[in-house]
Amino acid sequence: MKNLETYQNFYFVGIGGIGMSALARYFHASGKKVLGYDKTNTKLTQNLMKEGIDIVFEDLIDERITALQKEDTLVIYTPAIKTLGILDYFNQSQFEVLKRAKVLGLITENTDCIAVAGTHGKTTTSTLISHLCKEADLPFSCFLGGISENFKSNFLYNGSRYSVVEADEYDRSFLNLSPDWAVVTSTDADHLDIYGDKSHIEEGFRQFAALVPEDQQLFVRKGVEIGRGHQTYAVNEKADYYSDNLRMDHDKIYFDFHTPTETIKDFVWEIPGIHNVENATVALAILHNLGADFDTLKKAITNFKGIKRRYTKHIYENGKIYIDDYAHHPTEINAVMDSIKTFYPDKKLLVVFQPHLFSRTRDFADGFAESLSNADELILLDIYPARELQENFEGITSGWLLEKVTLDKKEVSTLSDAFEKIKEKDFDILLTVGAGNIDTLYDPICEWMNKL
């Protein structure tokens, strides 16, 4: 294929995806014409349109598409879209059509690429690494899987020596990257619709790890088997890099950070959960190896604001608390709820959960039921299908999952009815959680709780 620089037009099929939109912003910032399709109009697509990117929400071949010439147009698509008339048109018209991950690999191959992989924690870790790079004034660009509260975006350009990317295991996308530095946070079973079983997803991560040159840096959570040499990181246990002496004071966590040769005391961190201290530990390890000094890193850690929909918390004058989180796997839900129980052990917790994908709901039903049973009350929304068709998953419904939950106070709801149900409930803490379109409840809930 031609050099990316030779294309003047970039058409994104599925532009509203978090990874796709970061690429769209990159090409738009580079002065290229960017346009695309998505089936759903969201906050993210609305922001892209405000930035000057042309987006349609119907699968139609209009004049904006027919005006494009294959010689100067690159079409980028997400593998989450299986069939689409627009995509068929581009393929039949012999346009250059590439997966998102392939394009990301091409963009970053001429940089020192820092790739963060793992079934959990990669968004927080890659966003924190990017924040630390910015605070240390390193020349980098980042392509993130969430909206940084510091950057207000999932993309930032601050130079081109380094790139920070979230290495997505879905569809084995991360094997398109050329990482010079890499992190593996976890290899839990997920995306079994792609991998089949846990052994195959573990093999996928081993293949990813093998892409890192032997003379460069691979950091792996202690206890994760990756099949090659690496440096380890951990919390409350010794590793090549580890944090310990964790202390909580109100909503802040204090910890000490250990390298192989020194100890730096009293980092201050406001993102709750021991799992997030793990993420901070490996981010500090990376930046230490890039030459950043610890005075800069201490200040940067303290002013990290997190990621939208990653334990986004509001405390109201009446004492009620609202937390919104993207968790969509039992391990992630456990991490969020454990943090809530640690900070607020005696408060009544109402959970509103939207399962994401019929296949994931089926594969991890018992884990979801066990996690959700730790709430005081549960509103379980209909399953968000994303790329899947319900007729292929007969009997897999939210009602089926609800039967496995051991709570007395539990019910199923549509998304459209959920807000009115929430307003009728008695709770101290409200947690909305899930990766679908449950985020549309966020603004109405905030507005309502501000008035209570």
Spatial contact of 320 and 271, defined as CB atoms under 8 Å apart: no
121 marked as binding residue: yes
Give the pLDDT confidence score for residue 255 in this predicted structure. 96
Quote the CA–CA distance of 63 and 49 in Å, as a whole number.
18
Phi first, then psi, for residue 82 (nearest 5°) are -95, -50
Q: ∠56-57-62 over CA atoms, to 5°?
A: 50
Other residues' Cβ atoms within 10 Å of the Cβ of residue 348: 14
CA–CA distance, 170 with 326 (Å, rounded to integer): 17
What's the pLDDT score for residue 383? 96
CA distance 202 to 291: 32
CB distance 296 to 134 below 8 Å: no
Helix (H) or strand (E) holding 252: strand 252-258
Q: Which two tokens stand for residue 231?
A: 């440096």
Per-residue pLDDT of the chain (452 residues; tens, 9 = 90+): 568 989 999 999 999 988 899 999 999 999 999 999 998 888 899 999 999 999 999 999 999 999 999 999 999 998 878 789 999 999 999 999 999 989 999 999 889 999 999 988 899 999 999 999 999 999 999 999 889 999 999 999 999 899 999 998 877 788 989 999 999 998 865 545 555 567 778 888 999 999 999 866 999 999 998 889 999 999 999 999 999 999 988 778 999 999 999 999 999 998 877 888 999 999 999 999 999 999 999 999 999 998 988 888 889 999 999 999 988 889 889 989 988 888 888 999 999 999 999 999 999 999 999 999 999 999 999 999 887 888 889 999 999 999 999 999 999 999 999 999 999 999 999 999 998 889 889 999 999 999 88
Token code pair at residue 3 = 């050099």
The whole-number pLDDT of residue 190 equals 53
Which residues, including other chains, have CB under 8 Å from residue 441's CB and lie 6 or more apart? 352, 415, 418, 419, 422, 432
120 is in an annotated binding site: yes
Residue 232 is labelled as binding a ligand = no
Which among 341, 335, 334, 205 has a CA at the least distance from the CA of 277?
335
The alpha carbon of 237 is separated from its chain's Cα centroid by a whole number of angstroms, namely: 26
State whether residue 432 is helix, strand or coil: strand
> Amino acid identity of 325?
D
Flag whether 134 is marked binding. no
* HEC sequence for 46-64: HHHHHCCCEEECCCCCCHH
The answer to the question of whether 122 is labelled as a binding residue is yes
pLDDT attached to residue 427: 97
Domain covering 111-303, topology: UDP-N-acetylmuramoyl-L-alanine:D-glutamate ligase (3.40.1190)
> What is the CB neighbour count within 10 angstroms for residue 337?
21
Class of domain 4-98: alpha beta
CATH fold of the domain at 312-450: Protein-Tyrosine Phosphatase; Chain A (3.90.190)
Q: What pLDDT was estimated at residue 191?
A: 46
Strand 429-434 versus strand 321-325 pairing type = parallel
Both structure tokens of 150: 């510091």
Residue pLDDT, tens place only, 141-199:
999 988 999 999 999 999 989 999 999 887 778 898 999 999 999 886 554 555 556 77
CA-to-CA distance for 263 and 258, rounded, in angstroms?
A: 4
Q: Could you tell me the pTM of the whole model?
A: 0.81
Q: Where are the domains of the chain?
A: 4-98, 111-303, 312-450
Residue 311's pLDDT is what?
A: 81
Q: How far is CA 57 from the centre of its chain?
A: 24
Beta partners for residue 206, in sequence order: none
Q: Which of 248, 279, 285, 245 is nearest to 265 (CA)?
A: 245
**Strands 162-167, 140-148: pairing kind:** parallel
